[in-house]
Amino acid sequence: MRTEISTLGEFGLIDHLTKNIKLTQPTTKKGVGDDAAVIDNSGKRTLVTTDLLLEGIHFDLTYAPLKHLGYKAAVVNFSDIYAMNGKPQQITVSLGISKRFSVEDMEEFYAGILLACEIYGVDLVGGDTTSSLTGFSISITCIGVADEEKIVYRNGAKDTDLIFVSGDLGAAYMGLQLLEREKSVFAGKVDFQPDFSGKEYILERQLKPEARKDIVQFLAEHEIVPTAMIDVSDGLSSDIIHICKQSNAGCRIFEERLPIDYQTAVMAETFNMNVTTVALNGGEDYELLFTVPLSFHEKMAAISGVHLVGHITKPEDGYYLVTRDGQEMELKAQGWNPIK
Amino acid sequence: MRTEISTLGEFGLIDHLTKNIKLTQPTTKKGVGDDAAVIDNSGKRTLVTTDLLLEGIHFDLTYAPLKHLGYKAAVVNFSDIYAMNGKPQQITVSLGISKRFSVEDMEEFYAGILLACEIYGVDLVGGDTTSSLTGFSISITCIGVADEEKIVYRNGAKDTDLIFVSGDLGAAYMGLQLLEREKSVFAGKVDFQPDFSGKEYILERQLKPEARKDIVQFLAEHEIVPTAMIDVSDGLSSDIIHICKQSNAGCRIFEERLPIDYQTAVMAETFNMNVTTVALNGGEDYELLFTVPLSFHEKMAAISGVHLVGHITKPEDGYYLVTRDGQEMELKAQGWNPIK
């Protein structure tokens, strides 16, 4: 018997493989199913998250400079720790390296990792280095810390909670589209030097994203603990559904409230794409998507850089986008999914 | 400028890339350079280790059943935590999966991981699953715990300390040689069913190794804290040199004392290999190699399954094997090295 993995998809496969896992260690407070695992350490909590990035699937070295790639690989893991309302402290970096790469290449990559570590205050503490028969493989694990009572899971959203997202959405995806187009236009040409002026923002969002440490700090300063939080890696649509499913809730997202940068909108038009679809499903935004009680409405005004995009409903109300003309369209978890 | 990675080798590359790492987090007690990193958690210590295993480099699915592979991938990480005198508690498992694999294949692999978790009392708490354009990639991170004062690093070996190793050496390597030979004999044949009777031990050592939880428990019961410890993954020769270099010491290993199983010896003869070389450089034994003060000589007699193989010397005495006829041969870190 052979069941193709594509019949389950990434999330389906993970659910299928992990559904029978029994947790036996008293120190394990949260296993599979959130942005990070949570481990008890006498009051404080250790958070653990990990990512595997493979050449040709997650990155294309034709246009991703190795230093940026190192930076991004580290930052996306920090982002998972922030999404638990934690503080990243250590990472391990494992690399599978093919013969194509030189010591100088690895220096570049490491420089990017170490720059991210410096900026975010994280220590690189270990890893593994091995040869690879094929491309470049990167596996990063990040260890963070949080106070027990401040950890934010995906499962705490309640009916009438407000839904906020930081920054703007869809830019990283449009940056990727632009890079892919230029790559095919310049295919085979040695001097690959397209003109990217005026498009710096979307390229930076794709190639060198930042994690929202600042938002986590703002929330702490204003003594706001969200009821649920996730980082937007698969797209707002997919990620709000993660929150709703785990919280046994529904949601309404308002199209007119989706934060979209000017460059994203222009590029979507150039590519003849619906900018709302891009914002909902583009992915790789690494913004924080979180819910707070309705009563926090005033308090949230003090937090800059976040946008109210909708509210949580009862589970039977489903997951819907309310369009500009008042129609309701069902949200789908069709985000960026490397297992197709 | 392009420097081939092969000019540095695995250890050289790691040293090169990590030499400028600055540790800034007060909770980081040990970074790169031991079996695991060490993180402070109010008295207790969190240990973190990680491994990246790539198809065609670390395993060959022609003869490694997926369930065994899952078991081994987990166990080799537990082994790193035991080598710090710690207790593994949680793992994360990241997989890169190509289209060749079915859901049933992944169930098999996971069954092996979960069996190892059950036997060793470890929780699987997270991971990442992605598609791969090429083979099967496995990245596992293990989190462990230890008392601050009981952690054993690689750098504490002192002149006159005794060197012990658990179990026996070289069997996993001979198992690999046997599997490789049968693979080439049966190349292209559909019914790949070689006769392995009488060779079960070396095959099991290669395909389904165990970590020496029992030795760590024995040591604790007898209140013995080694001065230095490492697990034998690259081969005794390479691994005792790691201890010596980090401890600023030399060593003498006695050929006649190397623990070698009967099947290992027979298979080495069949392959016309020097069994001492196999025991020193085979690798993947996952035995514990450790040093204790000379005064513990009597006390160590109570620990079953460990063998006195030599002693630590002053650094200027170098690293040598004392052969059966009393000659001294320099030990070389020529162990199993996936970056060639």
ipTM: 0.88
Please report the pLDDT score of residue B84 as a whole number: 95
Please report the pLDDT score of residue B219 as a whole number: 96
**Rounded Cα–Cα distance for residues A218 and A40 (Å):** 25
**Rounded Cα–Cα distance for residues A195 and A235 (Å):** 28
pLDDT in tens, B294-305: 999 999 998 999
* B135 within 8 A of A133, measured Cβ to Cβ: yes
- Contact call for A48 and B131, based on CB within 8 A: no
Candidates A154, A311, A158; CA nearest to A249 is A158
- Contact call for B89 and A27, based on CB within 8 A: yes
Residue among B28, B102, B340 whose CB faces A4 most closely: B102
Bridge partners for B146 per DSSP: B45
Candidates A144, A162, A116, A124; CA nearest to A47 is A144
**Rounded Cα–Cα distance for residues A293 and B227 (Å):** 55
Please report the pLDDT score of residue A197 as a whole number: 86
- How close, in Å, is residue A312 to chain B by CA atoms? 27
Please report the pLDDT score of residue A188 as a whole number: 67
pLDDT in tens, A216-231: 999 999 999 999 999 9
Query: Which residues of chain A does B1 touch, with a Cβ-Cβ cutoff of 8 Å?
Result: 104
Nearest chain A Cα to B23, which residue?
A123
Please report the pLDDT score of residue A338 as a whole number: 43
Strand runs labelled E in A261-323: 288-292, 306-313, 319-322
What angle (nearest 5°) sits at the alpha carbon of residue A336, between those of residues A274 and B107?
A: 150
With bands split at pLDDT 50, 70 and 90, how would you rate the model's confidence at B98?
confident
- Contact call for A24 and B103, based on CB within 8 A: no
By DSSP bridging, strand B288-292 and strand B228-231 are: antiparallel
Residue among B43, B44, B134 whose CB faces A134 most closely: B134
What percent of chain B has a predicted confidence (pLDDT) above 70? 96
With bands split at pLDDT 50, 70 and 90, how would you rate the model's confidence at B20?
confident
Range in A142-156, B42-56, B164-178 the model is least confident about = B42-56
What percent of chain A has a predicted confidence (pLDDT) above 70? 96
Nearest chain B Cα to A31, which residue?
B125
- Contact call for A137 and B50, based on CB within 8 A: no
Nearest chain B Cα to A1, which residue?
B104
Domain extent listing, chain A: 5-150, 162-330
- Contact call for B14 and A338, based on CB within 8 A: no
Query: Which residues of chain B does A97 touch, with a Cβ-Cβ cutoff of 8 Å?
Result: 5, 339
Which amino acid, A88? P
With bands split at pLDDT 50, 70 and 90, how would you rate the model's confidence at A10?
confident
- The residue-averaged pLDDT of A146-174 equals 95
Nearest chain A Cα to B7, which residue?
A103
Alpha carbon distances (Å) from A196 to A181, A234, A328, B262: 12, 26, 37, 67
Residue among A42, A55, A123 whose CB faces B42 most closely: A42
- Contact call for B134 and A135, based on CB within 8 A: yes
Please report the pLDDT score of residue A45 as a whole number: 86
What percent of chain A has a predicted confidence (pLDDT) above 90? 66
Whose structure tokens read 């270990």?
A126
Candidates A82, A67, A76; CA nearest to A113 is A67
- How close, in Å, is residue B298 to chain A by CA atoms? 36
Q: Which residue has the higher pLDDT, B32 or B231?
A: B231
- How close, in Å, is residue A95 to chain B by CA atoms? 7
Query: Which residues of chain A does B4 touch, with a Cβ-Cβ cutoff of 8 Å?
Result: 102-103
- How close, in Å, is residue A325 to chain B by CA atoms? 38
**Rounded Cα–Cα distance for residues B137 and A5 (Å):** 16
Whose structure tokens read 């230093």?
A67
Q: Which residue has the higher pLDDT, A206 or B188?
A: A206
- The residue-averaged pLDDT of A143-149 equals 89
Residue among A3, A17, A141 whose CB faces B102 most closely: A3
Nearest chain B Cα to A127, which residue?
B50
Q: Is the pLDDT of residue B289 over 80?
A: yes
Please report the pLDDT score of residue B19 as a whole number: 82
For chain B, give the mean pLDDT.
Answer: 91
Tokens standing for residue B230: 């490492």
Alpha carbon distances (Å) from A12 to A15, A157, B129: 5, 23, 11
- Contact call for A123 and B23, based on CB within 8 A: yes
Whose structure tokens read 């409230």?
A257
Dihedral of CA B133/B136/B137/B143: which sign?
positive
- Contact call for A102 and B2, based on CB within 8 A: yes
- The residue-averaged pLDDT of B115-142 equals 91
Q: Is the pLDDT of residue B11 over 90?
A: no
Q: Is the pLDDT of residue A336 over 50?
A: no
Please report the pLDDT score of residue B23 as a whole number: 85
For the domain A5-150, what is the CATH superfamily, name and number?
PurM-like, N-terminal domain (3.30.1330.10)
With bands split at pLDDT 50, 70 and 90, how would you rate the model's confidence at A192?
low
Please report the pLDDT score of residue B340 as a whole number: 39
- Contact call for A5 and B126, based on CB within 8 A: no
| Selection from A248-257, B88-97, B135-144, B182-191 with the highest mean pLDDT | A248-257
pLDDT in tens, A87-120: 999 999 999 998 889 989 999 999 999 999 999 9
Range in A36-40, A82-86, A276-280, B67-71 the model is least confident about = A36-40
- Contact call for B54 and A96, based on CB within 8 A: yes
- Contact call for B57 and A31, based on CB within 8 A: no
Please report the pLDDT score of residue A287 as a whole number: 98
- How close, in Å, is residue A109 to chain B by CA atoms? 10
Q: Is the pLDDT of residue A191 over 80?
A: no
Nearest chain A Cα to B92, which residue?
A50
| Selection from A171-175, A188-192, B130-134 with the highest mean pLDDT | A171-175
pLDDT in tens, A272-328: 999 999 999 999 999 999 999 999 999 999 899 999 999 999 999 999 999 999 999
- Contact call for A17 and B131, based on CB within 8 A: no
With bands split at pLDDT 50, 70 and 90, how would you rate the model's confidence at A57?
confident
Alpha carbon distances (Å) from A92 to A77, B170, B224, B243: 11, 30, 30, 22
* B216 within 8 A of B287, measured Cβ to Cβ: no
- The residue-averaged pLDDT of B13-25 equals 82
In eight-state DSSP terms, residue B332 is -
What percent of chain B has a predicted confidence (pLDDT) above 90? 66
* A285 within 8 A of A170, measured Cβ to Cβ: yes
* B54 within 8 A of A133, measured Cβ to Cβ: yes
Please report the pLDDT score of residue A196 as a whole number: 85
Is residue B36 packed enough to be buried (19+ CB in 10 Å), middle (13-18) or exposed (0-12)? buried
With bands split at pLDDT 50, 70 and 90, how would you rate the model's confidence at A207?
very high
Chain A to chain B Cβ contacts (< 8 Å): 262
Nearest chain B Cα to A4, which residue?
B102
Domain B162-330 is found in CATH 3.90.650.10: yes
- Contact call for A27 and B107, based on CB within 8 A: no
**Rounded Cα–Cα distance for residues A81 and B229 (Å):** 32
- Contact call for B103 and A32, based on CB within 8 A: no
Candidates B66, B171, B175, B46; CA nearest to B111 is B66
- How close, in Å, is residue B271 to chain A by CA atoms? 27
For chain A, give the mean pLDDT.
Answer: 91
pLDDT in tens, B237-254: 999 999 999 999 999 999
- The residue-averaged pLDDT of A45-73 equals 91
Please report the pLDDT score of residue A98 as a whole number: 87
Query: Which residues of chain A does B5 touch, with a Cβ-Cβ cutoff of 8 Å?
Result: 97, 99, 101-103, 106, 131
pTM of the model: 0.91
- The residue-averaged pLDDT of A29-51 equals 84
With bands split at pLDDT 50, 70 and 90, how would you rate the model's confidence at B339?
very low
**Rounded Cα–Cα distance for residues A10 and A281 (Å):** 16
Tokens standing for residue B215: 């030795």
Query: Which residues of chain A does B39 touch, with a Cβ-Cβ cutoff of 8 Å?
Result: 46, 89-90, 125, 143
Residue among A49, A90, A137 whose CB faces B96 most closely: A137
Mutate to test the interface with A, among B131, B284, B340 (most CBs of A within 10 A): B131
Dihedral of CA A247/A253/A259/A260: which sign?
positive
